[in-house]
Amino acid sequence: MQSNEAQKFDHNENQQTSQIEESIPESARHALVTLLKHGVILATQKKILFENVRVHQVLITTRLNELYLKLVLDERAGIAYIEQQTQEDQYDEDDEIVQLISPRMLSLYDSYLLLILRKFYQERQVLGEDTVMIDFERIELAMRPFLKLSQSQSIDQRKLRGVVQQFQTRKLLINIRGEENRFEISPIIRYVVDVTTLENLLIQYQKLLSGDVSQQQSDLDNSADLDQGNEYDVE
């Protein structure tokens, strides 16, 4: 037989659980958990989940705010993803931000591949393509100028495929069923590297390729602090 205190605790716990369940519909919970787990939802990949985010946008935003996260929803592009809040996002400047998503520096090799993909994506978008495809051969060809920076005489296909695989895991590249060496560039790449950042980094790489590598490396590293803390895994 439970004591009065134990019964009171069970009652409060059941009441809180009931309130949570009532305030968050199942469809919203599913979308929220997916965002927390994978970081991003694309309408082209999971139409129902994306629609749930759209319908429950206010509720999901509120829950994310409680975790110092914010929802970014681009209905036109069909993208929903989460970002770490900054101090500017806080109503009270004295509030301390607890970071769940930390930015991480990319290696030179990884950042160069990211810029190749972003630049190609930008070029194809200008031509009016909504879905941008790229094959491994084109990636390999575009990486050749990087040889001057890595002091290598040939493309290390194993290394390149390994980095491409990491980009697939992060869903910056999306597998195309039945085509091992062909990929879709995920539209989330637009938010990882915006156009201004892309242009600035390309200028830095041109300096690296044509000038003093050691002199320009520091500038490039400072510019390449891209928001890769959340390894977007599209659901």
Confidence of residue 136 (pLDDT cuts 50, 70, 90): very high
* CA dist., res. 27 & res. 182, Å (int): 33
Confidence of residue 63 (pLDDT cuts 50, 70, 90): very high
Top-confidence residue, 89 or 138: 138
Confidence of residue 216 (pLDDT cuts 50, 70, 90): very low
How many other β-carbons are positioned within 10 Å of the β-carbon of residue 157? 11
pLDDT tens figures, 65-118: 988 899 999 998 899 999 888 766 665 556 666 777 766 677 778 888 998 999
Percent of the residues in the chain that have a pLDDT greater than 70, as a whole number: 69
Residue whose tokens read 């004591």:
3
Q: 114 is written with which tokens?
A: 């990211």
> 139 pLDDT exceeds 90?
yes
Top-confidence residue, 155 or 179: 179
Strands 40-42, 79-84: pairing kind: antiparallel
Confidence of residue 235 (pLDDT cuts 50, 70, 90): very low
pLDDT tens figures, 26-39: 999 999 999 999 88
Q: Mark out the alpha helices in 133-211 (DSSP H runs).
A: 136-142, 147-150, 157-169, 189-192, 195-210
* CA dist., res. 41 & res. 44, Å (int): 9
Q: What is the pTM of this model?
A: 0.69
CA distances from 29 to 35, 60, 83, 106, 137 (A): 10, 8, 18, 33, 41
